[in-house]
Amino acid sequence: MRSSPAAPALPYPGAITDVRGIDAGHYTDPRRPTGCSVVIAPDGAVGGVDVRGAAPGTRETDLLDPANLVGVVHAVLLSGGSAWGLDAAGGVMRWLAERGTGLRVGAAPGQIVPIVPAAVLFDLHVGDARIRPDADAGYAACDAARSGPVPQGNVGAGAGATVGKLFGMAHAMKGGIGSAAVTVGGVTVGALIAVNALGDVVDPATGAPIAGARTADGRALRGSVAAVLAGEAPLSLLAGTNTTIGVIATDAPLTKAQCQRLAGAGHDGLARAIQPVHTMSDGDTLFALTTAQAPALDFNVLCVMAAEAVARACVNAVRAAQGIQTDTLNLPCASDLIAAHA
């Protein structure tokens, strides 16, 4: 398997770990492009979720409903491997429990339950589909978690991510995982997004595609929305074979209901950066966490920040990605197409 040279500098600064009380880490499987990523709140966090795609693969999302009992989240897992990748959450739970982090359900040893919601994306068509993230992968991602800079591109849940599949994998490009953060009034909102979309990733500032479905010769971007509106027929795809998943985090204090609303605002960022988005073949899911370690900020401002952080993280994901070639697929990255036209 061959890959492109190192990706260029990223356009947007910051990472989800700029949020006080948040760590993040990846595990990338060396055997094929797949992996998982974890966002950890060592002191616990209030959480919410918003699922917009029609084919999600998730775990513990019902628990995050504001009407339900449990009000704390200890980590969120993002994983490749389709539904198989949900196994990795068990490793995250084991790692947290070994460190005494979780919901106490009794005084006896072992009576602790870490709360680990999770979402998966489909990457089984890149390499050997028998290789999927498992509990050991989730544990290793936790071992790698830090509060500093977050690796981006072909790592963790973004290792096997692809974009621009509306006209088939032969015209697709490499996706990835990206992070970004914005700060206003001493409060930070950050995002970690694994971009594996059916649609194209566009520059929110111009609407121009950055990575996505390519033309028949593979040398330029087709523009999926424009192509569909011009009458080009997309291929019929199995539901759930795509999906963009991610975590938004802030250090502003929020209720559980506000976290759910913040996750919803983050989907505005997906809509700015991915076209089309929330399709029948995507399981787009965003989680939101608050560590409440900063002052309060107007909630409307936080929603603006969440959408912006998500959009920026999507752009960083494809800018950081490196192209790969397997025996059956050629998946160039955004910088490959730029170099081809230099």
DSSP structural state of residue 216: T
> Nearest 5°: CA angle at 124, between 272 and 177?
35
Q: Which of 58, 188, 243, 244 is an active site residue?
A: 243
Distances (CA, A) of 164 to 59, 142, 266: 26, 31, 21
Distances (CA, A) of 249 to 120, 182, 188, 252, 254: 19, 11, 8, 9, 11
State the Cα–Cα distance between residues 127 and 63, nearest whole angstrom. Answer: 34
- Catalytic site residue 243? yes
* H-only helix segments in the chain: 88-98, 135-143, 224-229, 256-273, 299-320, 334-340
Q: What are residue 274's DSSP bridge partners? A: 201
Residue 8: CB atoms within 10 A of its CB come to 12
> Nearest 5°: CA angle at 290, between 107 and 94?
40
State the Cα–Cα distance between residues 106 and 304, nearest whole angstrom. Answer: 41
Q: What are residue 263's DSSP bridge partners? A: none
Of the candidates 136, 137, 128, 178, the one whose C-alpha atom is nearest the C-alpha of residue 35 is: 137
Q: Catalytic amino acids?
A: 243
